[in-house]
Chain A
Amino acid sequence: MFFALTEDQQEFGAAVTTYLAERFDMEAVRRVFEDADGDGNPGSLWKAAAEQGWLAVTVPEEHDGLGLGLVEAQVIARALGAGVAPGPWRGTVLAAEAIRLAGSDEQKAAWLPRLASGDAIGAVGLRGDAPGVVPAVEYGAIADVVVVRTPDGLGLATGAQATPVGSYDRTTRLATLDVAEVEPLPDDAAAQLTARATVLVAADLVGIAREALSRTVAYDREREQFGVPVGSFQALKHALADIHVGVTMAEHAALYAAHAVDAGLDDVELAVAVAKAKASDVALQSTAAMIQYHGGIGYTWEHESHFFYKRAKRLAGLYGGVDQHRERIAALTL
């Protein structure tokens, strides 16, 4: 029995965490967050994602990738979530996954090396039927290739007309796309792609939840009221302990779901639904607690709580919210 990350996998995640801590901290996130005009993809971070293999993680080695699985990808997603990091990492990895799973040899050769190296930006828009309008695509405005849903499966859209979409969550940029032409991917991998996208969003949420908890605990150990640290009060202790248990369970669930996808386990559908339901639930709790247990400062613009809260709120609904995944769980077990 080995249900854990290997040392290599842990190091992969630690490298992302270390990079963000040293080179892309909350001040850097804030600059993107408050930048009204920019594309939301800071060049230095994108360069690091390319150089350190974060983009190449699941691309096969024959196409210049690392040939790793969703387990490794969720390690990166978790670290990026913890850093509330901006940029089109997830869309690029998922676009490559769609092409790997469903593309022709020509499509793979054309796109996979470029996506793996960061030369091309990918995005995924699975709502709506293309050609037509595809709403609220993450980094849809700057993507070189967008994977869209067609009546027959999946297709690639290039050169779509993009209209920016507002969001509280300024750690990400959204655009609605008017897709005129679609190049179909020969094999139908819509369900497989959705499962992968769901797991990576769940992992991002897990990272957010853990970091929000850690920051809150650190603050409440120091912050004094009534002459003692507020973290010594049981009202906070019990709430934070429950969140710690929940976050730990969500970490298990995201890891297991990624493995279930990689290994094609029988219960993969249930595993993905459990991961997303639990991760969404606990990220909303943890980020709300981050605001509450920082007190007034937690509600200010200058504090970072709202980066975490807003990202969690948006991602909690992406690829199905808590209740939709619970309905899936009910359908699978009743």
Chain B
Amino acid sequence: MDLTFTAAEEEFRSELRSWLSANIPDEWRRPGFWESLPDEESFRLRRDWERDKALAGFAGIQWPTEFGGRGGTPGMKAIYDVEMVLADAPRTVNPLGLTFLAPTVMAIGTDAQKKEIIGPMLRNEVIWCQGFSEPGAGSDLAALSTRGVRDGDDFVVNGQKVWTTNAVHGDKIFTLVRTEPGSQKHRGISMLLIDMHQPGVDARPLKQMSGASEFGEVFFDDARVPATDVLGEIGEGWRTAMLLLSFERGASGISQYTEFRRQYDEIAAVAKKLGRDTDPVIRNKLARVLTELECLRLHSMHVLTQTERGRDLGFEASMTKLQWSEAFQDLWEVYDDVLGEDDTLEALGDLDLRPLSAQAMWSRSVTIWGGSSQVQRNVTAERVLGLPR
């Protein structure tokens, strides 16, 4: 057993810490700061800050240096995930691009795609959206019906995507499109890299139950995309999508643990303020959630151990998602129990409850996106336990 990081990894931690402490304004750490900004301004601030961070060498931690990455270890990525949370660093504005698209392009992209996509993404010159879900294709993604018809050197795309993160801020969207007319299910799909700044693409915000509009819907009305802007082979989009989604498997959950553990302390502070920290039922419920969070921390060490040894966790990734998303949701359900009759948006003395309530609302979403808990349980039962389909 060795739960430490290497000297080089710890050196990386201290470099990152110094940079973060020198480059995050105090004001940004004030609770409620980000919520107080108009969406446009919040996005622009984060976009610029993240670009500066990348230029300072703190992006693409595990990417090869030839792609502008740092060439770091899985341990460095884990350290990065933790330190970003501890420093109250702004969230990335390019999550789908950085997590999914970039490694897929590195793996199967053409030389031109590698050159044109990865650098500009790292510098946040291009914000990428993911065009997978449709109104009629959610968990059953292969039911998608957005279609692309070949017209000379282009595909002409018609259809609709939904639940698109950063839809209104997006510059380009990697999109699953049915390019073989009449094809069924997983066949005849291509992954097209579509420019969103054209008359045939209309992105509209969707207001979430939390009141925020982090995602939206994207309408394609004779949108054009050059046939060279296909990622992977034409007609093999499903295979490309599966490869793309596999890059989430290395995610350890340490980022979520670090964030949720701090939230646990915030909820504990509210409980103390209200004198409910002595209520045995509340104590029991909080401890139950803390138990799950600790298990998440240990699980992240397990995942890191495996990835450091080059092992693909495969379908075990479903377990990581279930553990963090269900624990997070449980945590915020206990928050409501803690508030009791004080469940309002009014401040409790110097404690602003609005950011906490926003988290409580957000917690309803995490068991849906990225593969719902029900889908994850199917995967776990069938692919890990081997129960019949």
Contacts and interface: CB of A to CB of B under 8 A. Distances in A.
A234 B277 CA distance: 39
A75 B285 CA distance: 30
Contacts of A221: 386-388
Given A1-B308, A241-B381, A259-B1, A330 B323 contact: no
Given A1-B3, A2-B2, A4-B302, A249 B385 contact: no
A245 B323 contact: yes
Contact of B299 (A220, A248, A270): A248
Interface string B318-348: 0100110000000000000000000000000
Contact of B283 (A3, A231, A262, A327): A327
Contact of A242 (B2, B277, B377, B389): B377
B294 A274 contact: yes
Counting chain B CB atoms within 10 Å of each CB, the highest count among A221, A262, A330 belongs to: A330
Given A244-B319, A244-B380, A274-B294, A334 B286 contact: yes
A71 interface: yes
Contacts of B294: 253, 270-271, 274
Contacts of B277: 334
A1 B387 contact: no
A238 B374 CA distance: 7
Given A241-B380, A333-B268, A3 B388 contact: no
Contact of A249 (B1, B2, B287, B299): B299
Contacts of B288: 277, 326
A263 interface: yes
A278 interface: yes
Contacts of B185: none
A237 B291 contact: no
B272 interface: yes
Contacts of A248: 299, 319
A241 B377 CA distance: 5
A277 B374 contact: no
A295 interface: no
A277 B291 contact: yes
A134 to B, nearest CB: 29
B323 A249 contact: yes
Contacts of B377: 237-238, 241-242
B291 A329 contact: yes
Contacts of A2: 1-3, 305
Nearest to A271: B294
A221 B292 CA distance: 29
Interface string A228-248: 110110101110111011001
A71 B75 CA distance: 24
Interface in B267-325: 268, 271-272, 277, 280, 283-284, 286-288, 290-292, 294-296, 298-299, 301-302, 304-306, 308, 319, 322-323
A231 to B, nearest CB: 4
Contacts of A1: 2-5, 75, 78, 301, 304-305, 308
Interface range for B: 35 or more
A234 B80 CA distance: 38
Contacts of A256: 298
A23 interface: no
A217 interface: yes
B304 A3 contact: yes
A278 B381 contact: no
Contact of A274 (B291, B308, B378, B382): B291
Interface in B343-389: 374, 376-378, 380-382, 384-389
A252 interface: yes
A228 B264 CA distance: 45
A173 B51 CA distance: 67
Contacts of A244: 319, 380-381, 384-385
A183 interface: no
A245 B316 CA distance: 9
Contacts of B2: 1-2
Contacts of A25: none
Interface of B: 1-5, 75, 78, 264, 268, 271-272, 277, 280, 283-284, 286-288, 290-292, 294-296, 298-299, 301-302, 304-306, 308, 319, 322-323, 374, 376-378, 380-382, 384-389
Complex A-B, nearest 8 residue pairs according to Cβ-Cβ distance, in ascending order: A237-B381, A326-B287, A249-B295, A330-B283, A3-B301, A252-B298, A329-B287, A241-B380
10 contacts: A2-B305, A217-B385, A238-B381, A244-B319, A245-B322, A249-B298, A274-B294, A326-B284, A334-B268, A334-B277
Interface of A: 1-4, 71, 217, 220-221, 228-229, 231-232, 234, 236-238, 240-242, 244-245, 248-250, 252-253, 255-256, 259, 262-263, 270-271, 274, 277-278, 323, 325-330, 333-334
Given A241-B377, A242-B322, A274-B294, 19 more contacts: A1-B3, A1-B4, A1-B305, A3-B305, A4-B305, A221-B388, A231-B387, A231-B388, A237-B377, A241-B376, A241-B380, A244-B381, A252-B298, A259-B1, A259-B3, A274-B290, A277-B291, A330-B290, A333-B287
